[in-house]
Structure 1
């Protein structure tokens, strides 16, 4: 493991204020230009199957299109899928009833991977403008996702 990634969770917790300040003041165009390469670089070094903290501790939003696609793939009525797996959160979004995600296997593979919610497909948003537009979400994600931590550390050292 690279020096950058040693004790990454502790370092991320210590650097939350620095990350916030950087994301609020960074040159948006430079950040957006750097993201695709840094995203790829992060996932060359980090294997989600080693971690799956996102699936173990948090829930994506299940949008209407996700519910339709997943319930069809599972051969369930949408209402039964919702009743079985989902609940409404404080913001009115459908999320999983329990953590870890009911579709996460013991091997950290997703049983609905091909039909997973769009939030799961896009996570951890390190190759799109969400990293700048939703700073509180980026900060939260950096506390449990090594890829977000990696991208933020690289951004801070390469973008001035």
Structure 2
């Protein structure tokens, strides 16, 4: 990739997990939240999600009721049919995809339901919102497969 910080990022992300956890635990919330918009934008300028799509290939978003209603309508399916065809309930009681990669991931890593995608997909990787601090376990996991989360954590914690 174009930036030295991104060279070998997956290996470095794994090695830096403890450092990230310590940073997130002691971070000044207001200071971090002020930095996020610029770091989020900088990360997206350097990293093209369509080059990666690791999130779509390896993980499932939660499908909340509004997501299910919107997507099933878009696909011209009954909600029950959509749920039966694509979803299962996970250990947290959330609807998630039955299979990986995401069945809506198409050629060139494009999403076939992009305009009606789940809110989790729309918000991912959460690098411009307080989720990065509030859900530390999720942030740490996301840093292991998403170069954008890695980039933002590296810039914040350095």
> What is the match of residue 46 of structure 2?
45
> What is the match of residue 16 of structure 1?
17
CA separation in 1, counterparts of 2:5 and 2:122? 26
Structure 1: which 4+ aligned runs deviate by more than 6 Å?
none
Deviation at 1:156, TM superposition (A): 1.3
Give the CA RMSD over aligned residues.
Answer: 0.5
- Count residues in correspondence: 157
> What is the match of residue 134 of structure 2?
133
> What is the match of residue 147 of structure 1?
148
Q: Deviations over 1:117-141 (max 9, x none)?
A: 0000000000000000000000000
**Unmatched segments (≥5 aa) in structure 1:** none
> What is the match of residue 56 of structure 1?
57
> What is the match of residue 102 of structure 1?
103
Structure 1 residue 114 corresponds to structure 2 residue 129: no
> What is the match of residue 7 of structure 1?
8
**Unmatched segments (≥5 aa) in structure 2:** none
User: TM-score w.r.t. structure 1 length?
Assistant: 0.97
CA separation in 1, counterparts of 2:16 and 2:7? 14
> What is the match of residue 92 of structure 1?
93
CA separation in 2, counterparts of 1:2 and 1:55? 24
